[in-house]
Each structure stands twice: as structure tokens, then as C-alpha cells.
Amino acid sequence: MKKFTLFLVLILIGISSTEAQTNPKERTVTVSGAAPLEKTIEKYRIKATLSMDQVYYADTRMENLEQLKKQYFTALKENGVDVSKFEEKEMEYFSLGYQRDGTVLYYETNSKEIAMKLVKTNLQGVQLQFQVKQHVSSEKNKAALELALKDAMKNANSLCKAINTSVGEIISISSNQYHNEDWTSYYTDYQEQFTVNVVYQMK
């Protein structure tokens, strides 16, 4: 019985050794790649903060918030802006910690022309913030993915060449696909990047 048990153990050890020889630990290289992501602006939003804090000492003729709002709306109407589309959020203003009377107004539009009129109508006591809502089409997303993968392959080839190996098949891949549907501040000099993280086999 002992001889049989010993024989069985030796067989199992032999099988384990064979598996270890035929399935060596796989070598991999992990890289990232990036490409510009082209986004389309779908809607514009202007946030106008009207505050008596800013005009209390600068303009003694402005006695209250209603006068400030009237002056602001008059200037906008002269530029062809429909002021009835403003959404007022007075509670938001007071949550910001201002000492004197004021309010927050939001204006949403699909027209860049209207948005620019709002931005350019700037009065004492009115602080403006320009925001946009952007979208990435499936076609633009696919194009950026393809370019990012090419960049990742280029980086992988550079690393493998340094240690005299070559790039094999992709083992895994992940990306940071753009899904932001929130309002964001508008920056003309900022370029969104589509990035991928890729794990390749090394041959």
C-alpha cells in the first residue's frame, strides 16, 4: 500500500512538472496611448450673479437689486436677448455668503450668437460665468480610439525593442470614454484626450 501511494505521488509530481514546462509564466508589457477627442457643443449656459456687494461703493446711484436687475435686462434687450428665458435661483446666491442683496440668473441657449451677446453684456455688479454642455459622437469616439490604439502600439514597440523582444496580441484593454453630460466651464485652449491602457503579450 505504501509503495502504491509513493508511486501515485511521483506521478502527480511528474504531471505538475510537465504543466509548469508547457505553461511558462506569460511576459507582458503595459502601455497607454492617447489621441485628441473632438467634442461638439450642444448648448450654452450663462450664469449671471447680480450682487449689490459689487456696486455698493462703486455706484451710489444704484440703490437696490431691482434697479440693478432692470439696468441689466435693459442692456440685454437692446442687444436682442429675450430676458424672459432667464431662470432665477435666489437661494443659490445667499448660499454663497454674500453680505448684501443679490440673485443668480441662468440663461440656456442653443445659439452661440445669443450666448456671446450675454457674455459681452457686462455691467458693474454683474459677474458672468460661461458654461457649455458637450457631446462626443460615436464616429468621433471610434476615430479617437483607433488613434489611441496606434499610439499605444507605438509605445509598446519602443519598450519591447529596448529589451530585444516584440509585441504580441492584446491581453486586455481599458479606456476613459467621455461620458460627461454635466455643464462645464468653457476653455478654448483645453484639448480633451481619449486615453487607453493596453496590456500586450511579449514574444
User: Are 102 and 65 spatial neighbours (Cβ–Cβ below 8 Å)?
Assistant: yes
The tens digit of pLDDT for each residue in 44-94 reads 999 999 998 877 766 667 788 999 999 999 999 999 999 999 999 988 988
Question: Domains of the chain: which residue ranges?
Answer: 23-39+136-202, 41-135
Tell which wins on pLDDT, 35 or 187: 35
Closest CA to 196 of 142, 160, 159, 158: 142
The tens digit of pLDDT for each residue in 115-137 reads 999 999 988 889 999 999 988 88
pLDDT value at position 59? 60
pLDDT value at position 144? 93
Q: Is it the case that residue 150 has pLDDT exceeding 90?
A: yes
Tell which wins on pLDDT, 142 or 192: 142
pLDDT value at position 179? 66
pLDDT band at 23 (very low <50, low <70, confident <90, very high): very low
Q: Is it the case that residue 151 has pLDDT exceeding 60?
A: yes
pLDDT value at position 100? 83
pLDDT value at position 99? 77
What mean pLDDT do residues 94-100 have?
A: 81
The tens digit of pLDDT for each residue in 161-194 reads 999 999 999 999 998 776 667 888 876 667 788 9
Please give the angle made by the CA atoms of 27, 32 and 38, to the nearest 5 degrees: 155
CATH: 3.40.50, 3.30.70, 3.30.110, 1.20.120. Which one for 23-39+136-202? 3.30.110
CATH class as words, domain 41-135: alpha beta
Q: Is it the case that residue 103 has pLDDT exceeding 60?
A: yes
Rounded to the nearest 5°, which phi and psi values hold at 171?
-95, -45
CB neighbours of residue 81 within 10 Å? 20
Please give the angle made by the CA atoms of 198, 199 and 202, to the nearest 5 degrees: 135
Q: Say how far residue 140 (Cα) sits from the centre of its chain.
A: 15
pLDDT value at position 158? 94
Q: Is it the case that residue 22 has pLDDT exceeding 70?
A: no
